[in-house]
Amino acid sequence: MTALRPAEVVIGLDVGTTAVKAVAFGVGSAWRCSAVREYPLLQPRPGWQIQDADLVVAATVEALRECVAVAGVPVAAVSVGTAMHGLLALDDECRPITPLITWADSRASSEASELRVTSVAVDLHQVTGTPVHPMSPLTKLRWAARHDPGTCRRARWWIGLKDYVLLCLTGTLMTELSSASATGMLDLRAGDWYGPALELAAVHRWQLPDVRPTTTVLGTTPETMSSTGLPTGTPVVAGAADGPLGNLGTGAVAPGEAGLNLGTSGAVRMVVDRPLTDPDGRTFCYALTDELWVVGGAISNGAHVVRWAADGLAPDVATTAGTSGSDEALLGMAAEAPPGSDGLVMLPYLVAERAPLWDPQLPGAYLGLRRDHTRAHLIRAAVEGVALQLAAVVDLVDRLEPVTTVRATGGAFRAPLWRTVVAAALDRPVTFTSDAEGGALGAAALGLFALGRVERLVDAAALLTGPSAWEGATVVAPPEHVQVFQRLRERLPGLANGVAAAAGALAGDRSGDLTAPAFTVS
């Protein structure tokens, strides 16, 4: 926080999977303040990942109240960003009758698998831009129709996390184009619900909110004003989903500029000027505004794969290093192994994977294991396995629209090993920048744009951060490292096929000659 307090702020809300961050950005200033509140992600059954929606809203209100109080200046607007793909049922009085079923919930795996082997999946993806996967509300609704018909009969509304947050803050029940575009039920080009998808989901159009632009400006309820300290008449901007806002908040908005994020999970996204879908259904396309769209793919298995490997293979290193130094020590150990891990490869599918495979049942595996492989090799192979997934997603995006530059963000990249391995796997220069408040900044910038204070979104972000906010260090991998990863990328389709066949033989209920979903090899 700088010493000079601005005349006014825009507050961006980043309502994520385990925490909400409210950040007040000074208009025309680099000044900012923030507040964070956490909440649990619950797993009552294997594969279920749910939350108490009211607890999430309460945490959001608390963070907003603290942010307003600390800012101590007029609030030009509050703009909202939330996690995608959540599903929540409301009764006639708009009260939740289910928990929030989050993006991470995989209960609808069977429903997704059934659809993916039909021609219907191709049509769904081409129209809606959302791959058929358990994350999508479409498959969750299909699961509910089969396994919880009682709740389906009681449900007056089916909504997402963004819709519920907006309802509680503003009293208006609606959804916005960005979050709606991630449901698997929206016709991207028409901007309205897609009838055949609703039939598959067994949901009626009248059970879904109206779809409005991400720049929609709403008011606040008296309860919101009382609980947050916001003055009467403070605008609340509907905002967008967290993925597209992340690109805006980290500066990856220019044509050909891909934004790569790596934390517990990871994603590669690029802003384009029209809806784009690939013929194989392996990338997503979500809206940022009516005129800007984000294409890309998200991986479920990010940096947590290395934490899993460390817990099982090197708990003594974590204990010796202590909490704050454990990752540094573990990755330092991994750096002792050479690029390519002396032939050891990890397919890092510890949880149901999304891009580039979109196969929630394919398990992870270490391949090529020999006696002379050490813990350093095993941990490095985990890092390299994740990097190869990201490289495959960049390839997919590149085939839709050429990728000229990559801007990478995320907590994992504090470690030099992650930076060098990802740059080598992508075989292109990568600029690493900070994204400490990227989602919230994207929301705030969209809010300022919605108020008509700037003509371009990128100008809004610069007005809230200053011109140097997105500067970073560019890493170019040594050619010999790039060559190692090129060979690995050529081997991946065959390795994935082999693991799919082995998994089928072990499980007894999957084909032994499955065609592995697809990596892209350049």
pLDDT digits (tens, 9 = 90+) for 255-264: 999 999 998 8
Write the secondary structure of 339-355 as one string of H (helix), E (strand) and C (coil): CCHHHCEEECCCCCCCC
Helix 416-426 with 375-400: angle, nearest 10 deg: 50
What's the pLDDT tens digit per position in 382-400?
999 999 999 999 999 999 9
SS3 assignment for 13-43 = EEECCCEEEEEEEECCCCCEEEEEEECCCEC
Domain 9-246+446-465 and domain 252-432+478-522, same fold? Reply is yes
Which CATH superfamily, name and number, covers 9-246+446-465?
ATPase, nucleotide binding domain (3.30.420.40)
| φ, ψ for residue 120, nearest 5 deg | -60, -35
pLDDT attached to residue 222? 94
Three-class SS of residue 12? strand
Average of per-residue pLDDT across 5-17: 95
Distance CA 286, CA 183 (A): 10
Q: Give dist(CA 397, CA 408) in Å, integer.
A: 15
Residues in the chain: 522
pTM over 0.75: yes
Supply the pLDDT for residue 322: 44
Q: Name the DSSP letter for residue 52.
A: -
CATH of domain 252-432+478-522: 3.30.420.40
Token pair for 69: 């109080």
pLDDT grade for 319, boundaries at 50, 70 and 90? low
How close are the terminal C-alpha atoms of the chain, in Å? Answer: 44
Q: Do residues 502 and 349 lie in contact, with contact meaning Cβ atoms separated by under 8 Å?
A: no
Which of the pair, 329 or 156, is modelled with greater confidence? 156
Q: Is 321 a residue whose pLDDT tops 60?
A: no
User: Could you tell me which residues come within 8 angstroms of residue 319 by beta carbon, excluding any fewer than 6 positions away?
Assistant: none
pLDDT band at 365 (very low <50, low <70, confident <90, very high): very high
CA angle 478, 482, 485 (to 5 degrees): 145
| Contacts within 8 Å (CB) and 24+ apart, 338-342 | 339/384, 339/421, 339/424, 339/480, 339/481, 339/484, 339/485, 340/384, 340/484, 340/485, 340/487, 340/488, 341/373, 341/377, 341/378, 341/380, 341/381, 341/384, 342/370, 342/372, 342/373, 342/377
pLDDT band at 307 (very low <50, low <70, confident <90, very high): confident
- pLDDT at residue 375, rounded to an integer: 95
pLDDT at 318: 58
CA separation for the pair 66, 64 (Å, rounded): 5
What is the residue extent of each domain of the chain? Answer: 9-246+446-465, 252-432+478-522
Q: What is the pLDDT of residues 203-227, one digit of tens each?
A: 999 999 999 999 999 999 999 999 9
Closest CA to 434 of 419, 417, 414, 404: 414
What token pair was written down for 53? 């929606």
Is the pLDDT score of 468 beyond 80? no
Instruction: Supply the pLDDT for residue 323.
Output: 43
Residue 82 pairs with which residues in a beta bridge? 15, 241
Top-confidence residue, 509 or 38: 38
Instruction: Check pLDDT > 80 for residue 240.
Output: yes
Q: What is the pLDDT of residues 75-95, one digit of tens each?
A: 999 999 999 999 999 999 999
Find residue 432's DSSP bridge partners: 408, 473
The reported pLDDT for the residue numbered 471 is 74
> Can you tell me which residue has the tokens 């396309």?
285
13-58 pLDDT per residue, tens: 999 999 999 999 999 988 999 999 999 999 999 999 999 999 999 9
* Residue in this structure with the two tokens 């096929």, named with its chain if needed: 497
Beta strands (DSSP E) in 32-145 are: 32-38, 50-51, 75-82, 88-90, 100-101
Per the prediction, the chain carries an average pLDDT of 91
Percent residues over pLDDT 90 in the chain: 78
* Long-range interactions of 145-151: CB distance < 8 A, separation 24+: 145/201, 145/202, 146/111, 151/89, 151/97, 151/98
Judged against a pLDDT cut of 80, whether residue 331 lies above it is answered with yes
User: β-strands 266-272, 32-38: how paired?
Assistant: unpaired
Helix 315-334 × helix 304-313 angle, to 10°: 130
pLDDT at 369: 96
Prior bond to 356 cis, omega within 30?
A: yes
Q: Provide the percentage of residues in the chain whose pLDDT is more than 70.
A: 94
Q: Are 38 and 412 in contact (CB under 8 A)?
A: no
DSSP, collapsed to helix, strand or coil, labels residue 114 as helix
The average pLDDT across 142-146 equals 98
pLDDT greater than 50 at residue 195: yes
Give one DSSP letter per residue of 486-522, joined into a string.
Answer: HHHHHHHHHHHHHHHHHHHHHHSSS-TTPPPP-----
What digits encode the pLDDT tens for the residues 267-282? 999 999 999 999 888 9
DSSP letter assigned to residue 193? E
d(CA 477, CA 419): 9
**How many other CB atoms are there within 10 angstroms of residue 300's CB atom?**
25
- pLDDT digit string, tens, across residues 113-140: 999 999 999 999 999 999 999 999 999 9
Q: Which of 480, 478, 356 is nearest to 423 (CA)?
A: 478
The sign of the torsion formed by the CA atoms of 338, 340, 346, 348 equals positive
What average pLDDT does this structure show over 401-427? 94
